[in-house]
Structure 1
Amino acid sequence: MKVAGKQVVKSLLGQIPFTAELYWLLRQNGRPIQTRFSLKHLQAELPEIVSQAVALRQNAAPGKKVFLFATLHYWIEHAALVGMALAAQGHEVTLGYLPYAEWREPINRFDLRRQNVYARKVLEQARPLLTPVSFLGMRGVPMRLPESLMDMVRLVTTYDTQYTLQVEEIDPDSEVYRLRLERNTEAARAAYAWFRANRPDVVIVPNGTIQELGIVYRVAREMRIPVVTYEFGDQRQRIWLAQNAEVMRQETDSMWAARNGKALSEEQLERMRNLFVARQRGALWENFARAWQGTPARGGSQIRQELGLDDRPLVLLATNVLGDSLTLGRQVFSQSMAEWIARTVQYFAGLEPARAQLVVRVHPGEVLTHGLSMMDVVREVLPRLPENIRLIGPKDKVNTYDLVEVADLGLVYTTTVGMEMAMYGVPVIVAGQTHYRGRGFTYDPDSWVSYFKLLGQMLANPVAFRLTRPQVESAWEYAYRFFFEYPRPFPWHLVRLWEDYHARPLKAVLSDEGRQQYGDTFRYLLGEPIDWKSILQAGA
């Protein structure tokens, strides 16, 4: 009861002007607030960062008007550091922010305003090199948005709900949807108003697909302002970049157009082999920070024996984690990934058992999720599995690459396993919009009719569809480009931001040696077109 009463009081105080600000002055006295919204590392490091940036900026020519946006405390800290690096290079940098610690939980107005005051106090230390602008309660915000922007707000809200609940079918009346719609609408109004009054040369925003990050990206695109999105994968000192596109789409068209057909050197092949072996064994490798399998490979013969697989054509269907950013909005001919899986297992259940056996490998990453499992999707349509279908759960001690070794055909939505099956020479049907679709080493139907027709042809004569040597070589080449060339060098990963910063402080990153390593990436962040031919000719 005390907690509930306290929340009521905070809700009332949140409606009264300046109460949160007075509370900050009287009670906090500059100390961090006791919430998950913590900028303590940034607060501690900013004085030294500013000192280095001021010294570096003295010899810098005037640059662009740059607007960075972030929400959630960890993205705000990262964006602030990136902004200081750009300011040190002579650019006029504004950091827009929203002081949320959570995207999925409501917060009373009083605590939100306290977090806003706290963020402003921390970020004020960066002046005059970086101008902080809170999007919370911004004045001059239009009551109504153009319908085209409202359509974008609803799309991002759908993505947010799918991402948060890890489902594909969403309820617009759910608490999560209503919360995300409210926050996304507010963010769209603030961004629209600010960009109309202060049009920047370039907008830089993390992710660009979900939450307020996706809203600011779409508002900038709607207003035809150049925008760059960025994200981080498994590799340390590497960043994914996309210009006027969502980085989570992993669009590699320009890179592949510049490099397609250029054979890998023996050194490059060996590096790719070593990475592939590490992925198979579930081991860490080089600067990759994640193991891809929880169970070491035991070999195809062993897995056949353990699962009772025989010599019938074996089809491996590898799922994605539902709600992952790499699956949002990736439909090609199905309404959802779950529908594609359901209709596929129904197809195999209706086959003569002698024609094929299907193994559904549910993504091991599901052990960390709370949403709808693909196990449930399969069991809903097939409460009793027929003899020719095996279901491998996320906790089962099975190495996916053992299954790849014995597969005659692969079925995937967007998972990278599809690309790796092609590297084995296994023909792969891709059902979703993934970065390696249409590269010449997968089969890419665009309708249910073409999907089932192709599936039937492949099952009738699997050997005829086995990939040719040039196709396998192309898959290896593409995989190398994707893993080692698509991510660009960058000093500070989001996950270990301050550990990385201490190893590579601003003055080191912007030294002559540092600019040799990271200078191009900063220019690409500012919207300079990525010249893949020059990058690759230089052997990057």
Structure 2
Amino acid sequence: MSDKIKTYLGQFPLSAEIYWDVLGRQKTWLSHYELDGIKSVLPEAVAEVQAYQRKTEEPKKVCIFATLHYWIEQSVLVALALAGQGHDVTLAWLPYAEWDKEINLFDLRKQDLYTQDVLKPAAQVMRVDSLLKASLAAGKFARLTPQLQQIVEQVSDYDTQYTLQIEETDPSSPLYQLRLSRNAQAAAALYDWLQAEKPDLLIVPNGTILEMGVAYKIAKMLDIDTVTFEFADQQERIWLAQNDEIMSHNTRDLWRGLGYQALPEKAKRALMELFGARKNARLWGSFARQWQQTPIKGGASVRESLKLDERPLALLATNVLGDSLTLGRQRISETMAEMIVKTVAYFIQHPEAQLMVRVHPGELKTHGTSMVEVLESAYPSLPENIHIIRPEDKTNTYDLMEIADLGLVYTTTVGMEMAMSGLPVIVTGKTHYAEKGFTLDPSSWSDYEAMLNKVLADPKAARLSDAQVEQ
């Protein structure tokens, strides 16, 4: 069936439903939106929940919401586990396969009917609830309260940054308008659903972007406890956050409880093994990511290749533009790019110091604007005291750390690793390891420049103490 015909049919109520009952259900499902992973195990999983379900004296009322087929599959497994623990679980979804592309209503409703069929066995141990009809009923330009509208606009801005890997968005762009419309429809449906359900807890993937970010923020507005989760760097692991967006990696409470205790020897060994693997371009344990392209060669070779001298040397390590770990992390600048451009301007005015800008190697796997482009646009030429290390350069970041006197970061984890090596590190964005006693954390741009002046004047005096490194 052509897209033109499906777009036409989608205008009519029940067209997709009639097609599904007459033909669709009997056909092999061929679509980017597919739930084969959960479909193959669901009947057996439900039977096991029924056989071993615990009786809980005070079960919690738990709502779980997801969109995108892979998150729906993951959320079904979470829902089954909680139902098996004896809790009162409701699973809701919006049946989208792609967040950045339009879809005709015929295919969208068909995907919803397919989801309902696949998840039918789960209804024996939980409530399953599509929010598609409620979201579509809100209309393409849903009318929302000012508070809901603010949530929708914030999440739509994040969605656009994340998708295009940029930091400044154009609200008139087709992508922003698509996300604004979908998020508004979702907000209308989610608000009514959560008001009606009144759960003790909402569980949602990510909690920052897309309709799932909308769900988290509405739950927060309604004073509903939340748990957000995301896939981790390690295989078969997820990250969890309580009453927070998981991608903010808020470690404040964890730090209060454990931050000033010595690491057990086993944990310390594991940490140093991981640190060694990151340095030497090796995989470690169950981690799926290799962080460097080339093993360490030693700082002397880098110093020679970059023609560095004995002037104080700063290493500025960037994040990938638009990465979810940078969304909403501004502290002393409007964007990460502004922070980096202005930092370069500082070193142009201070030739008595040297600067290395390590552009994140992860840019090789992305499609957005590179920090190299940002810097070349701002500075067609640079003085001899400033060096740009491109993502594709076969330079190990840890060799740069070895020769640096000072670390400068927005939110990248390299900042914490530089501190582990005893370097003073100035953190300019909001990140999980800032303000813990071993980083320098300016509250304004003038404060930042004052810190630069002080550390570059006497780098050795600014190095971390053994107690701070151990911390």
TM beyond 0.5: yes
- What are the within-5 Å matches in structure 2 for residues 46-195 of structure 1? 46-57=42-53, 59=55, 61=57, 63-138=59-134, 144-195=143-194
Letter of the 2:427 counterpart: V
Structure 2: how far apart are the matches of 1:32 and 1:344? Answer: 57
Q: Residue 215 of structure 1 aligns to a residue in which SS?
A: helix
Coordinate RMSD, CA, aligned: 1.5
Q: TM-score, normalised by structure 1?
A: 0.84
- What is aligned with 1:361? 358
Distance (Å, rounded) in 1 between the aligned partners of 2:37 and 2:252: 38
Q: How many percent identity over aligned positions? A: 52
Q: Which residue of 2 aligns with 1:439?
A: 436
Could you tell me which amino acid in structure 2 is paired with residue 436 of structure 1? Y
**1:401 equivalenced with 2:398 (yes/no):** yes
* Aligned equivalents of 1:57, 1:266: Cα separation in 2: 39
Helix, strand or coil for the counterpart of 1:96?
A: strand
Q: Tell me the TM-score normalised to structure 2 length.
A: 0.96
More moved, 54-63 vs 424-433: 54-63
Q: Do structure 1's residue 220 and structure 2's residue 216 form an aligned pair?
A: no
TM-aligned CA deviation for residue 113 of structure 1: 0.8
Q: Is the 8 A contact 1:165 1:371 kept in 2?
A: yes
Name the CA distance, whole Å, in 2 between partners of 1:205 and 1:30: 32
- 1:61 and 1:89 in contact (8 A); partners too: no
Q: Distance in 1 between matches of 2:445 and 2:16?
A: 56
Verify the 8 A CA contact 1:192 1:219 in the aligned structure 2: yes
1:23-34 pair list within 5 angstroms: 23-34=19-30
Q: What residue in structure 2 maps to residue 333 of structure 1?
A: 332
1:294 maps onto 2:293 in alignment = yes
Tell me which amino acid in the other structure corresponds to 1:473.
Answer: E
Q: Distance in 2 between matches of 1:319 and 1:29?
A: 50
Distance 2:177 2:312 in 1: 48
Distance 1:338 1:269, change over 3 A: same
Deviation at 1:31, TM superposition (A): 4.5
Which of 410, 415, 418 is the matching residue for 1:413?
Answer: 410
- The superposition leaves residues 226-280 of structure 1 with CA deviations (integer Å, 9 ceiling, x where unpaired) of 1111112212343322111111111111111011221123333222111110010
Provide the C-alpha distance between the structure 2 equivalents of 1:13 and 1:198, rounded to a whole number of angstroms: 33
The counterpart of 2:456, out of the listed 447, 455, 459, is 459
Quote how far apart the aligned CAs of 1:19 are. 1.0
Q: Partners of 2:395 and 2:355 in 1: how far apart?
A: 15
Q: Distance in 1 between matches of 2:461 and 2:40?
A: 63
Unaligned runs of 5+ in 1: 475-540
Q: Give the CA deviation at 1:30.
A: 4.5
Q: Give the superposition deviation at 1:436.
A: 0.5
CA distance in 1: counterparts of 2:88 and 2:267, whole angstroms? 40
- Helix, strand or coil at the partner of 2:133: coil
Preserved contact between residue 183 and residue 214 of structure 2 (Cα < 8 Å): yes
**Are 2:318 and 1:319 equivalent residues in the alignment?**
yes
Deviation at 1:320, TM superposition (A): 0.1
User: What is aligned with 2:208?
Assistant: 209
Given that 2:46 and 2:124 are in contact with CA atoms closer than 8 Å, whether structure 1 keeps it comes out as no
Q: Which runs of 5+ in 2 are unaligned?
A: none
Query: Match for residue 478 of structure 1?
Result: none
Q: State how far apart, in whole Å, the 1-side matches of 2:272 and 2:43 are.
A: 45
Residue aligned with 2:66, SS = strand
User: 2:378 is matched with which residue?
Assistant: 381
Aligned with 1:309: secondary structure? coil
Letter in 2 for 1:91: H
Q: Which amino acid aligns with 2:105?
A: R
One-letter amino acid of the structure 1 residue matched with residue 10 of structure 2: G
Change beyond 3 A, Cα 1:63–1:418: same
Letter in 2 for 1:63: P
